[in-house]
């Protein structure tokens, strides 16, 4: 028998971080996301463009970072379909892709497409997803 998850469990495993300046040093990322822009940090000391956005550069340990905008279009490198085991609040199936956006690569959620439509090399664009509680998550849509 599977027990229903409690809200304590949900908050303990919250996949959506708090996004305001009181809770998050990288709140500018979420503010830009809310405006449809994908931002990350770039190290002012060594020039490395970092993903995810950080407060300290993992290459040279500098804390001198500035915000930089990633290109509007990215490309699918590879993708997968998740058919079970989603966090509460996420509807299955979920599609995730390893994406190239300018100098950085990361895993992103694909929305508005069936797996048959996806392929390596297809172009995607940021399509932020507002959550029920007002927070926002990055997602990507085929162009
Ligand atoms: Zn650096």
Is 46 part of a structural domain of the chain? Answer: yes
Give the domain range for residue 38.
Answer: 7-142
Residues 53-62: contacts with CB within 8 Å, 24+ apart?
53/26, 53/29, 54/26, 55/25, 55/26
**In total, how many domains does the chain have?**
1
Q: Does a structural domain hold residue 80?
A: yes
Domain contains 2 = no
- Whether 43 maps to a domain, the answer reads yes
Specify the pTM: 0.82
Specify if 68 maps to a domain: yes
Residues, CB within 5 angstroms of ligand 1 (ion): 43, 45-46, 48, 57, 59-60, 62
Q: What is the pLDDT of residue 95?
A: 97
Q: What are the tens digits of pLDDT across the range 59-108?
A: 999 999 999 999 999 999 999 999 999 887 778 999 999 999 999 999 99
Residue 136 resides in a domain? yes
Q: Identify the pLDDT of residue 51.
A: 95
What is the whole-number distance in angstroms between the Cα of residue 100 and the centre of ligand 1?
21
């Amino acid at each position: 028998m599977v027990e229903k998850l409690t809200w304590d469990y949900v908050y303990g495993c919250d996949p959506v971080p708090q996004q305001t300046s009181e809770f998050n040093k990288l709140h500018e990322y979420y503010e830009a996301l809310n405006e449809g822009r994908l931002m990350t940090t770039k190290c002012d000391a060594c020039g490395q463009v970092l993903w995810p956005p950080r407060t300290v550069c993992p290459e040279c340990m500098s804390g001198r970072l500035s915000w930089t905008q990633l290109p509007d279009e990215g490309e699918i490198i590879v993708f997968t379909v998740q058919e079970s085991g989603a966090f509460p609040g996420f509807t299955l199936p979920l599609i995730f892709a390893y994406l190239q956006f300018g100098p950085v690569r990361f895993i992103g959620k694909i929305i508005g497409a069936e797996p048959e439509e996806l392929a390596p090399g297809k172009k995607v664009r940021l399509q932020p997803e507002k959550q029920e509680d007002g927070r926002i998550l990055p997602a990507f849509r085929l162009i």
